[in-house]
């Protein structure tokens, strides 16, 4: 298996503002002793560090990429937004949307993050690699065309898709988003189109509070090509795998894409400060295996993972390593140090049945078309 890994040290230099988790500091909100925003560089840097220490990096083709060009960005974002972003970045930084602080040079770092996703997609579609992983930072799946939010400054995956389409490399793309938060930005960008299938598997009403319900299906040509799977808090490993098998995989097979992209957030893990789910490193490994099998059957294995959220500095590296072990077929195995504990903490069979019943009900609605 020839797997690419796209990363750049400069993405770790993206800086956030003066927050306590997601609360702006001030009034009665005391500053934290650490970095402030949970979207810090350490989760991603520590994943890369673990890969280097384990030897997994030696089994991957490590690459950087140039920044996405202005032409790339304008396929998704209006010039007026990009001009405001660039001007504020040059002036020292600030915040354009909701919970999207950045420092000086933030525009260029965000364009680099999008460039990593873009080049990963192009490398796979051009046959240079079997599959690829982009360690993009800042993330992108919450960013609307003209409104950044939820730590996301540019719509990385949408930018990559439009770049591929502009070169005639793909006609139909499926995006599977298993970040714990709803992929509202990706949904909005492709809301009225049938050339991109968007599937978001997320904790119900976590973030944003008002999006991600199952009745949000798209409009016009896009109707039925947007699928939301809101899961109850505490869902756990078995529920995630059941949702993948019951809804996500059938939707993929019906759509038959030329390329599958995973918005690969790890904030559904049991230790994440911004999620209330109980996923484990094995959960992410197994979901990767299932998506790889579907991609093998549908599009010659063309699969790209683009890193999104995940805010546990201790646990994200193990989740990411498990995904990359599976993606690459590497024998460099790192055991999950919390596996036995998390097996004991999984929901009991009664909760699992409750969640499966909900997923079955959603499947009856979502898979009709």
Residue count of the chain, please give it.
369
Structural domain count of the chain? 1
User: How far is Cα 154 from Cα 14, in angstroms, rounded to an integer?
Assistant: 13
Q: Is the CB of residue 3 less than 8 Å from the CB of residue 129?
A: yes
Tell me the pLDDT tens digit for each residue of 228-282.
Answer: 999 999 999 999 999 999 999 999 999 999 999 999 999 999 999 999 999 999 9
Tokens (6 digits) for 151: 């730590």
CA distances 206 to 15, 183, 197, 209, Å, are 24, 11, 22, 6
Identify the CATH number of the domain in which residue 180 sits.
Answer: 3.40.800.20
Mean pLDDT value of segment 275-301: 98
Instruction: With residue 114 as reference, give the H or E element that holds it.
Output: helix 106-125
Residue 192 binned pLDDT confidence (cut-offs 50, 70, 90): very high
| Residue 142 designated active-site | yes
Residue 70 binned pLDDT confidence (cut-offs 50, 70, 90): very high
Residue 34 binned pLDDT confidence (cut-offs 50, 70, 90): low
Mean pLDDT value of segment 326-336: 97
Share of the chain above pLDDT 90, in %: 92
Q: 94: which residues sit within 8 A by CB, 6+ positions away?
A: 88, 101, 102
Report pLDDT for 230: 98
pLDDT: which is higher, 93 or 33: 93
Range of the domain at 275: 3-366
Residue 352 binned pLDDT confidence (cut-offs 50, 70, 90): very high
* Catalytic entry in 77, 142, 307, 321: 142
Tokens (6 digits) for 21: 């988790």
Mean pLDDT value of segment 143-153: 97
């Amino acid at each position: 298996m020839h797997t690419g890994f796209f990363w750049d040290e400069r993405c770790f230099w993206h800086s956030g503002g003066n927050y306590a988790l997601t609360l702006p500091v001030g009034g009665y909100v005391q500053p934290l002793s650490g970095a402030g925003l949970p979207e810090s560089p350490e989760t991603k840097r520590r994943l890369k560090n673990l890969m280097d220490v384990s030897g997994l990096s030696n089994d991957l083709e490590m690459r950087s990429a140039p920044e996405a060009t202005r032409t790339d960005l304008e396929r998704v974002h209006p010039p007026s937004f990009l001009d405001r972003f660039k001007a504020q970045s040059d002036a020292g930084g600030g915040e354009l949307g909701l919970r999207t602080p950045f420092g000086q040079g933030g525009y260029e770092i965000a364009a680099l993050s999008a460039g990593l996703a873009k080049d990963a997609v192009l490398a796979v579609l051009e046959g240079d690699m079997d599959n690829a992983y982009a360690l993009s930072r800042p993330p992108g799946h919450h960013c609307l065309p003209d409104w950044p939010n939820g730590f996301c400054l540019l719509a990385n995956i949408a930018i990559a898709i439009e770049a591929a389409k502009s070169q005639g490399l793909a006609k139909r793309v499926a995006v599977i988003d298993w970040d714990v938060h709803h992929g509202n930005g990706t949904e909005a960008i492709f809301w009225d189109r049938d050339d991109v299938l968007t599937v978001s598997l997320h904790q119900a009403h976590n973030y944003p509070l008002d999006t991600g319900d199952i009745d949000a299906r798209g409009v016009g040509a896009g109707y039925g090509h947007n699928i939301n799977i809101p899961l109850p808090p505490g869902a756990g490993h078995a529920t995630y795998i059941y949702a993948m098998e019951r809804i996500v995989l059938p939707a993929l097979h019906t759509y038959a894409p030329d390329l599958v992209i995973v918005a690969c957030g790890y904030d559904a893990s049991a230790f994440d400060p911004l999620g209330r789910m109980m996923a484990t490193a094995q959960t992410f490994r197994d979901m990767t295996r299932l998506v790889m099998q579907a991609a093998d059957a549908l599009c010659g294995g063309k699969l790209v993972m683009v890193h999104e959220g995940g805010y546990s500095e201790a646990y994200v590296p193990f989740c990411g390593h498990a995904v990359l072990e599976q993606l690459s077929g590497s024998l460099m195995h790192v055991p999950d140090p919390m596996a036995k504990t998390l097996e004991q903490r999984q929901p009991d069979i009664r909760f699992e049945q409750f969640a499966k019943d909900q997923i079955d009900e959603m499947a009856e609605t979502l898979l009709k078309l």
